[in-house]
Structure 1
Amino acid sequence: MKLFRFLMMCVFLAGAARAQDAPPPAVVAIPAEIRALSETVTFNGRLDADRRVALVARVGGVLEEVGFDPGATVEEGQVLFRIEPDLYETAVKEAEGALRGAEAARDRARLERDRQAELVAREAAAQAALDNAEADLAAREGDVTRLSAALDRARINLSYTEIAAPFAGRIGVSPVDVGALIAPETGALATLTRLDPIHAEFSVPTAVLRNYQDRVAAGEASVVDAVTLELANGGTYDRSGDVDFVDSAVSAGTDSVTLRARFENPDGVLLDGELVRVTLVAQKPQGELAVPQQAVQRDVQGAFVLVVAEGEVAEQRRVSVTRSTQGYAVIGEGLSEGDRVITEGLNKVRPGAVVDAAPAGDG
C-alpha cells in the first residue's frame, strides 16, 4: 500500500510539473473599435421580371418558321414565329379588288347625282330623280367605307402571320414546331421575359417600415442603394438596388407591407422567380463601438466577452449588445475603445489564465 501511494504521488508531481511547464494557450485578440456600421434587416424575397409576356397566335395557320433558339436573347421587333401567309395575302387582294369596284360604283353614282342635280336646276327632271341619285350615292359611299374596313382587317390579319418580339428580352422554350397547325386556341407559343432591370419583392413588418420611412424623411436612411441580395448559393449580388415601390395596403394576416427594389441586371445573372435573401439598410452607417460577433458569449447572466488584460491575463467583461449587424456586435456598455477582445481560442481559456495573444492575421 505504501508503495502504491508513493507511485501515485510521483505521477501527481510529474503531472503538476508538466502543467507548470505548459505554454499559455494561444488566442487571437482584436481591439474593440469605433466602426461605421449601418443598421440592416434581412427578409426573404423573390425576384420578379420587369416585363413578361406570353406570345399567342392571333390567326390560325401552319407554322412556317421559328426565328429563335430557346433561351436566347432577342431584340425588340425580331420575328419569332411566322405563320404561312398565303391565305391572308389572298384575302388582302380580294378585299383590294372589292374596294376598287365599290369606289368605281361610288364615282358613277356621284356623276349621276351631279347630272340629275343639273337637270333639276334646269327643270328638265323631277326632284324625285335627284333624290334617288343622292340615296344611291350614299349607299355607294357606305359600300366604300365597309370594304375599306374589310381591307384594313385583311391587312391586319396578314400582319398577324408574323409574331415579333414586343421588347428585347430572353425567350423561353416553344411547345410547337415548324409545320404544326396553330391557332389562338393553341395557347402560349413561348414566353418572353425582360430581366434588365429586375425587381426584388419582399414583405416588411409594419413597425420596421415605419422606422425606415421616418429615417428616410430625417435623412438618416435612403431609398437609393438601400437593398442588397444574397443568392441561393450564399453568394452576394454585386449591385445594390433602389426601393421604388411601397404597397398601399397592409397584409392583415402578417401585419406586413410589400416593398420592391429595382436592380440593374445587364448580364442576366438574376432570374425571374428566384428566391433570394433581401437585406435592407434601415439606417446609414454610424460610428459605434463594435467587436466581431463571435467574441460575444452568453450565460444565464447575459452577454460577456473575454479581454486580454494587464499581464496577458484573460478577464471576463459583462457587456450589453445593442444590435448585431454585418458580422459585428455593437457594444452599448462594458468595453472601451482599444480593449483587446479574444475572438479565437475561446474554448481554451478561462478567466484569470495567462494567454498568448496575437492580433488577427498573425501566423
Structure 2
Amino acid sequence: MNKKHLALGLLVLASCGKKEDEQKKNAAPPATPVTLAAARTTEAIYYDEYPATVTALKTVELRTQVTGFVTGIYFKEGEVVPKGKLLYELDQRQYQAAFQQAQADLRSTQANATNAQVNAGRYQRLAQQDAVARQLVDNATTAAATARAQVAAAQATVNIARNNLGFSKVTAPFRGRIGISEVRLGSQVGAGTTLLNTISSEDPVGVDIVVTQTDIARFSTLQNNKAARADSSLRLVLPGRVTYPLPGRIRTIDRNVNSGTGSITVRIEFANPKRELKDGMSAVIKVLNTQSGERLVVPYKAIVEQMGENFVYVASDSSTAQQRKVQLGPRLKDQIVLMNGVKNGEKIVTEGVQKLRDGAKITTEVPKGPPPASGK
C-alpha cells in the first residue's frame, strides 16, 4: 500500500512540473528596457557640399613676341603690379636700329614718290599741248603709282619695326599679382615660346565646382535670384574646415554639359579683399538645400536599416514598440531629418533598438538586478 501511494505521488509531482515548464515556455517575453526621445520639429538649415577649386578670374602667361636677351627686370616677385607697369626688357639695340633703318627707307621712298608725282604732273601738262608722246605720260603715271605703293610698303615696315621695338618691353596687361620669374637677367628668350612669368587678378576670385546636369535648374534659379546674392545661400569652406566669412554669387554656368560625365562647371564669385584666396586652392562650396526649414528631427541612433530601407520604433500608449518605415533627409551632426513616417511629439526609441521587433513590449524602467549574494 505504501508503495502504491508513493508511485501516485511521484506521478502527480511529474505532472505539475511538466505544466510549469509549459507555462514558462508559453509565457510572453519580458519587456525590453529602452530609452525614448520625442520627435521634434525645429529649424533645420543644411547645405549640400561640392568639392571646389579657387581660380583667378584673369590670368595671363607673360611671353615676348620677339627674340632677345633679358636686359632688365623691373618688379619684385610676388608683388601686386599696376596695369601698364614695365616688367621685362630685352636688348633693344637691334630693334632700335631696324626701326631707324625703316624710317630712313620711308623718307627715301617718300622723296621718290614726290618726284614721280611731279614728273607725272609735268607730262600731263605737256600731253595737253601735244608736246610729248602718250606713252611717256603713261609711264610717268605708272611710276608715280608705283612710288606711292612703295611708300605704303615702307610705312608698313616702319610700323613692324616700331612694334618689334615695343615688344622688347613687356608690361602688365592688368592690375594683378605677379609670380616668380621664370627667367633671369641675361637669359635668352624666344618669340612666343619662352614663359617669362604669370600674372593673375586677386579680387574678386572665382571658385569652380562641377555639378550634375540635373542641378542646372537649381543653380540657374540661384543665379537669377537677386535676393540670394548677398545671403548665405553659398558658402566657401577653406582647408582646415574654416568657413570663409564673405558670401558668394554665381558668376556663370558653363555653356555645355560634358557628354561623357553628364556634368557641368559652375563658377561662383567671391570678394577677396584680404587676398586670403589663392589661385589653385582646394576648398568646398556649401549650397543651401532647398528643403531647409521647419523639419522633423530625431536622434540619428534611432535609425534601423533593414534590407536597404530605414525604420524607427515608435512607442505606443500600450507600451509596445511599433516599427515605422521612414524617409531620411540630411544628417545634422547627431540628429537626422525625417521627411515622413513620424509625427511631431511621438516617442522614438533611441536606446535598445537592436533588441526590438515590431510589436515588442518595452519599458523605460531600469530592470532590477539579482539580490547580492549572502556572505554567510
TM-score (norm 1): 0.72
Shift of the alpha carbon at 1:114? 0.9
Shift of the alpha carbon at 1:66? 0.8
| Matching of residue 283 in structure 1 with residue 290 in structure 2 | yes
Matches within 5 A, 1:93-112: 93-112=100-119
Matches within 5 A, 1:110-125: 110-125=117-132
Match of 1:152 among 156, 159, 164: 159
Matches within 5 A, 1:186-201: 187-201=194-208
Matches within 5 A, 1:311-322: 320=326, 322=328
| Matching of residue 170 in structure 1 with residue 177 in structure 2 | yes
1:324 is matched with: 330
Shift of the alpha carbon at 1:208? 4.2
1:352 is matched with: 364
1:59 is matched with: 66
Shift of the alpha carbon at 1:256? 3.0
The one-letter amino acid paired with 1:231 is: L
Structure 2 distance, partners of 1:261, 1:46, is 10
Give the number of aligned pairs. Answer: 309
Matches within 5 A, 1:1-363: 32=40, 34-35=42-43, 37-38=45-46, 40-184=47-191, 187-210=194-217, 212=218, 226-283=233-290, 285-290=292-297, 296-299=301-304, 320=326, 322-324=328-330, 327=333, 329-331=336-338, 332=340, 334=342, 336=344, 352=364
Comparing 195-204 with 74-83, greater Cα deviation is found at 195-204
Deviations 1:23-51 (A, max 9, x none): xxxxxx9994531525x311222222212
Deviations 1:228-248 (A, max 9, x none): 222222211122222233345
Give the conservation status (yes or no) of the 8 Å contact 2:223–2:250: no
Comparing 326-335 with 143-152, greater Cα deviation is found at 326-335
Give the conservation status (yes or no) of the 8 Å contact 1:33–1:338: no
Deviations 1:103-136 (A, max 9, x none): 1111111111111111111112121221111011
Give the conservation status (yes or no) of the 8 Å contact 2:314–2:347: no
Q: Percent identity?
A: 25
Shift of the alpha carbon at 1:100? 0.9
Give the conservation status (yes or no) of the 8 Å contact 1:197–1:263: yes
Give the conservation status (yes or no) of the 8 Å contact 1:56–1:189: yes
Structure 2 distance, partners of 1:84, 1:142, is 33
Deviations 1:195-249 (A, max 9, x none): 3222222222334445x26976998x95775422222222111222222333454
SS of 1:196 mapped into structure 2: coil
Give the conservation status (yes or no) of the 8 Å contact 1:215–1:283: no
CA 1:60–1:164 in 2, change beyond 3 Å: closer, same or farther?
Answer: same
SS of 2:202 mapped into structure 1: strand
The one-letter amino acid paired with 1:323 is: G
Shift of the alpha carbon at 1:84? 2.1
Give the conservation status (yes or no) of the 8 Å contact 2:312–2:348: no
CA 1:324–1:249 in 2, change beyond 3 Å: closer, same or farther?
Answer: same
Shift of the alpha carbon at 1:78? 1.0
The one-letter amino acid paired with 1:163 is: V
Aligned alpha-carbon RMSD (Å): 3.8
Give the conservation status (yes or no) of the 8 Å contact 2:38–2:345: no
Structure 2 distance, partners of 1:93, 1:297, is 87
TM-score (norm 2): 0.70
Give the conservation status (yes or no) of the 8 Å contact 1:67–1:80: yes
CA 1:247–1:93 in 2, change beyond 3 Å: closer, same or farther?
Answer: closer
Structure 2 distance, partners of 1:214, 1:74, is 36
Higher-Rg structure is 2
SS of 1:267 mapped into structure 2: coil
SS of 1:141 mapped into structure 2: helix
Structure 2 distance, partners of 1:320, 1:153, is 76
